[in-house]
Structure 1
Amino acid sequence: MPTAFERIQAIVAGEQLDRPPVSLWRHFPIVDQTADGLAAATLAWQRAFGFDLIKLMPPGDYPTIDWGAESVYRGSPGGTRETTRFPVTTPEDWARLASVPVDRGMFRVVIEAARLVRAAIGDSVPILQTVFSPLTVAVKLSGGRVFTHLQEHPDLVRQGLETITAVTRAFVAATLDRGAHGLFFATQCATADVLSREAYATFGVPYDLAVLEAAAGAFPVLLHLHGAQPFLDLARDYPVHIVNWHDRRAGPSLAEGAQRTGRAVAGGIDERAILFLPPTEAAAQARDAVAQCAGRGLLVAPGCVIPVATPWETVRAVVTAVRGRNDGELLRHDADSV
């Protein structure tokens, strides 16, 4: 029986397996503000389902806090926080953006959470740290103002992106050293409904590649392309192993995405509909995903984060559909493996 790590290695290599790996992820609001809280919630989630990959789920605004952003959780279904103070409001603020250390503050919290999870899990299951692209961090720092600024003051924005990139590279090195095996590298801007390809080639790609360079040798590296019209072709030029996008909600299908990217793919589960889907329909999505890829090069996963209120029985139905076991066998496996 392959280990979870071996399953991920096999899908990247395009090898046939008895069944593909499976993982689902969600936020853990409130408790995700401390390393102990985030690690404990992550481990409880893993123990419940025995996923083949652990995506660490720090709060989505974590890379902005040490630059002075402030946020509050107001009950978002996805578990995300609402930013109440943006550090960047004017074009000149990009040039004033100073480097921040990653060994203190919120960066340290997220790095420490990875360490605690690795200490508990070891090398049995790949642990991916969530890392946002520099342009995505710029969006979060400015409340989206960066899109106007890059048109009117591109040189100032580049200065800010260089600072963000340097800090993100330091964070990547530290989290890989302290516990994460690989990265979940997410960009929310590499999509035609946000930016043109030309604009992303200028303000996205060079900084993405600089961050990914800092993860050289890490495994696995999963690229998440957030948005309705993702630039899937980027995956061919990025040093990543797996690609994830909103395949159910926005397309293209997993089968088409695998052809276009030349990479293993992650998806098959509608990340929003899962909240309301009967378990049988969620399981049907999982089986359809496996069929699309003929069992090769696939991690069954959501297109993005699932709602915090998603019933556990629905999550279990997805896992069981992939593994072909009854719930009792699944739970016994989970208890023995984590």
Structure 2
Amino acid sequence: MHKRERIWAAIRGEPVDRVPVALWRHFPYDDQTAEGLARAVVDFQLQFDFDLVKVTPTSGYPAEAWGAELVHADNSNGTRNYVRRPVQKPADWRQLPVLDVEQGVLGRELQALKLIRPGLGPEVHVLQTIFSPLTIARNLVGDVVFTHLQENPADLHAGLEVIAEVTGTFARASLEAGADGIFFATQLAAQDRLPEVDYRRFGLVYDRRVLDRVARRADVIVLHLHGIGIYFDLVTEYPAQIVNWHDRLTSPSLGAGSERVQGAVLGGLDEWAVLRGGKPEDVAAQVADAMAQTGGRRVIIGAGCVTPVDTPVENIRAAREAVESQT
């Protein structure tokens, strides 16, 4: 099987020659130019030969496109720190401009895709990382977004309208630039962030606006539910073929989750305790457990989120090799 066939067989629950596997990471400093990011993504894939490629642009890139300022830090997950956020008061939501996605930061990320696609060839799915509008809104203002949600909902809705419009346009443009699909990440659909009723009002409705722009054109959509106590039942309301979450840190387990989705689940590896902090045999053991939970069906081995940048190479290699030995 080639990689596309393997991914789609996993989604459909059909037999695979081996269980697919995919890991991804940030590339600090390299990710400040289209050429640098493209080179890093292609080199990472050529080194480990994963079954799909998630392009991970510089952290906070949508907020940066609207004027946020971030600086590099020694964060193990490869993210940057915010030093200035463009939304300072509720009325600022109504001043967010509709961005030209071909220019500035967003244009840079599209250019990276145009370079990545020929570097990897047609055999492997390439997915662009797209953040949910409410996640972007939080990055534009910080945690005060939760206060605005309660006290200034009309202002926040006005901002979310613009964010959803631009994000949907950027997602479509990503497909045109060479991506096969998107990795749609929401960081607030969780009990430790918002009541579910609030996520439905301020999150889900705008998520669907973005996804409806690409659902018919994207070959694959991965839904990433970030956090603890996630609202897993929301997956039925998203047009995603693959679902990813921190299955080693929060419920449901990978096996239980696989029984609640129609496509495939992506996970099984704890990116911090095992991938970064463990030994190759620990990685192999988690891969074996993930396959036992799912019977090796409708599953793609991966981590709950980005692989830390200081993860030992031998552990990444162990994840890739484990699917061969477990087949």
TM-score normalised according to structure 2 size: 0.97
Worse-matched range after superposition: 255-264 or 191-200 = 255-264
The residue number in structure 2 matching 1:168 is: 167
Q: How far is 1:147 from its partner?
A: 0.9
Worse-matched range after superposition: 230-239 or 77-86 = 230-239
Q: 1:200-219 CA deviation, whole Å, 9 max, x = no partner?
A: 11001110001001112302
3-state SS of 2:70 partner: strand
Contact conserved, 2:6 with 2:17, CA < 8 A, in 1?
no
3-state SS of 2:260 partner: helix
The residue number in structure 1 matching 2:312 is: 311
Are 1:321 and 2:322 matched, yes or no? Answer: yes
Instruction: Give the distance between the partners of 1:157 and 1:72, measured in 2 at CA.
Output: 26
Q: How far is 1:324 from its partner?
A: 2.2
Q: How does 1:122-141 map to 2 (within 5 A)?
A: 122-141=121-140
Instruction: Give the distance between the partners of 1:131 and 1:227, measured in 2 at CA.
Output: 17
Q: How does 1:171-320 map to 2 (within 5 A)?
A: 171-217=170-216, 218-273=218-273, 274-320=275-321
Q: 1:270-302 CA deviation, whole Å, 9 max, x = no partner?
A: 011111101111111111111111111001000
Q: Identity rate of aligned residues, in percent?
A: 47
Contact conserved, 1:270 with 1:302, CA < 8 A, in 2?
yes
Instruction: Give the distance between the partners of 2:313 and 2:324, measured in 1 at CA.
Output: 16
User: Residue 100 of structure 1 aligns to which amino acid in structure 2?
Assistant: L
3-state SS of 2:259 partner: helix
- Give unpaired runs (5+ residues) of structure 1: 326-338
Worse-matched range after superposition: 102-111 or 253-262 = 253-262
The residue number in structure 2 matching 1:103 is: 102
Q: How far is 1:18 from its partner?
A: 2.5
Q: How far is 1:121 from its partner?
A: 1.4
Instruction: Give the distance between the partners of 1:203 and 1:167, measured in 2 at CA.
Output: 16
User: Residue 6 of structure 1 aligns to which amino acid in structure 2?
Assistant: E
User: Residue 180 of structure 1 aligns to which amino acid in structure 2?
Assistant: A
Instruction: Give the distance between the partners of 1:186 and 1:237, measured in 2 at CA.
Output: 15
Q: How far is 1:146 from its partner?
A: 1.2
Contact conserved, 2:241 with 2:262, CA < 8 A, in 1?
no
The residue number in structure 1 matching 2:34 is: 35
Q: 1:138-157 CA deviation, whole Å, 9 max, x = no partner?
A: 01111122111010010110
3-state SS of 1:204 partner: helix
Worse-matched range after superposition: 253-262 or 197-206 = 253-262
The residue number in structure 2 matching 1:332 is: none
Q: 1:30-59 CA deviation, whole Å, 9 max, x = no partner?
A: 110110000000011001110000000101
User: Structure 1 residue runs of 4+, over 2 Å off?
Assistant: 260-263
Contact conserved, 2:137 with 2:160, CA < 8 A, in 1?
yes
Instruction: Give the distance between the partners of 1:8 and 1:321, measured in 2 at CA.
Output: 17
Q: How far is 1:16 from its partner?
A: 1.9
Are 1:91 and 2:83 matched, yes or no? Answer: no
Instruction: Give the distance between the partners of 2:128 and 2:39, measured in 1 at CA.
Output: 15
Contact conserved, 1:275 with 1:307, CA < 8 A, in 2?
yes
What is the total number of aligned residue pairs between the two structures? 324
Q: 1:95-133 CA deviation, whole Å, 9 max, x = no partner?
A: 111111111111011111111111111221000000000
